[in-house]
């Protein structure tokens, strides 16, 4: 074989590997992007639920010490994320700022009651849990009433369920398409080497010996593709946070690391299985069918 022909074959082989890696990277990037959407959708839903405000209106004759004691009990409860005690004076100041005038001067007295603003943990911000929590709080003698927008809570939970089912269905569909695309890319790569596989088999090489370098190369391509996808996802996250700084509030580093690990595992697993079955096909194929 001449030097030029050898150089051409090496370039062609490198091009084949590069094409395979780029294809795998793009597919894994799409899977990772979907993973980011799912993670952010979950964190966003938790963020929305935990920012729904519940006002516990306190009876007028209750002393501040009693209100503070109730607040401590609430802070120690498993369903509470945070509480804020609002005095009559603070409530009046907020109302005056919203109205743009001092309504106390007009009325001659402050009709507002002290309250505790309550924010629940996301897992308890659903209609069933809220009924139990409301009954528990109302049974306290110093509590006059509980105020929150029930219709808003129902609407948020209903919409989040619908969005979750849509994302899940899209995730399953994209996963099937992604596996098919990677599988076809690897099958085409192995197809170009089908004569080499059959030649090795004819000179007495075992199936394991023939399959090993192909599977190893497939796994290496999967790892390269996964790391390329992770770099692209990290870049996308970086620029997204620059454009939308609020995304920092719902970021979870441990979940992102888990997602990147899953991308690497998928890259290895899919390429390994696809290469294994693609090589096995040409190990079993008859010589006459190699040309089809």
For each of the domains in the chain, give its residue range(s) and CATH number, in order of start: 3-47+156-291 (no CATH), 67-148 (3.30.70.3040)
pLDDT of 286 reads 66
3-state per-residue secondary structure call for the chain = CCHHHHHHHHHHHHHHHHHHHHHHHHHHHHHHHHHHHHHHHHHHHHHHHCCCCEEEEECCCCCHHHHHHHHHHHHCCCCEEEEEEECHHHHHHHHHHHHCCCHHHHHCCCCCCCEEEEEECHHHCCHHHHHHHHHHHHCCCCEEEEECCHHHHHHHHHHHHHHHHHHHHHHHHHHHHHHHHHHHHHHHHHHCCHHHHHHHHHCCCCHHHHHHHHHHHHHHHHHHHHHHHHHHHHHHHHHHHHHCHHHHHHCCHHHHHHHHHHHHHHHHHHHHHHHHHHHHHHHHCCHHHHHC
pTM of the shown model: 0.61
Report residues of the chain scoring pLDDT below 50: 1-3, 5-6, 8-9, 13
Q: What pLDDT sits at residue 5?
A: 45
> Under a CB-based contact definition with an 8 Å cutoff, are residues 137 and 146 in contact?
yes
Q: Which two tokens stand for residue 120?
A: 């629940």
- What was the pLDDT predicted at 1? 45
pLDDT score of 140: 83
Give the model's pLDDT for residue 146. Answer: 83
| Per-residue confidence (pLDDT) for residue 19, from 0 to 100 | 73
């Amino acid at each position: 074989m001449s030097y030029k022909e050898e150089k051409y074959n090496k370039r062609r082989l490198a091009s084949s590997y590069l094409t395979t890696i780029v294809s795998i990277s793009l597919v894994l990037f799409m899977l990772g992007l979907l993973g980011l959407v799912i993670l952010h959708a979950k964190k966003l839903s938790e963020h929305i639920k935990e920012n729904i405000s519940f006002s516990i209106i306190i009876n007028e004759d209750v002393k501040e010490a009693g209100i503070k004691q109730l607040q401590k009990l609430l802070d120690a409860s498993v369903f509470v994320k945070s509480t804020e005690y609002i005095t009559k004076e603070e409530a009046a100041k907020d109302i005056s700022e919203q109205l743009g005038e001092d309504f106390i001067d007009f009325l001659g007295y402050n009709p507002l009651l002290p309250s505790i603003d309550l924010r629940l943990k996301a897992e308890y911000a659903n209609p069933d849990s809220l009924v139990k929590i409301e009954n528990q709080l109302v049974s306290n003698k110093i509590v006059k009433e509980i105020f929150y927008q029930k219709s808003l809570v129902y609407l948020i939970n209903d919409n989040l369920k619908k969005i979750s089912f849509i994302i899940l269905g899209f995730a399953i569909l994209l996963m099937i398409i992604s596996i098919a695309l990677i599988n076809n890319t690897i099958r085409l790569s192995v197809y170009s080497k089908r004569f080499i596989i059959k030649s090795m088999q004819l000179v007495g090489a075992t199936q394991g010996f023939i399959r090993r370098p192909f599977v190893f190369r497939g796994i290496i391509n999967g790892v390269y593709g996964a790391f390329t996808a992770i770099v692209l996802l990290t870049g996308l996250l970086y620029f997204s946070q620059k454009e939308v700084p609020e995304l920092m509030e719902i970021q979870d580093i441990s979940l992102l690391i888990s997602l990147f690990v899953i991308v690497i595992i998928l890259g290895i697993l899919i390429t390994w299985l696809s290469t294994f079955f693609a090589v096995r096909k040409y190990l079993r194929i008859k010589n006459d069918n190699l040309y089809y």
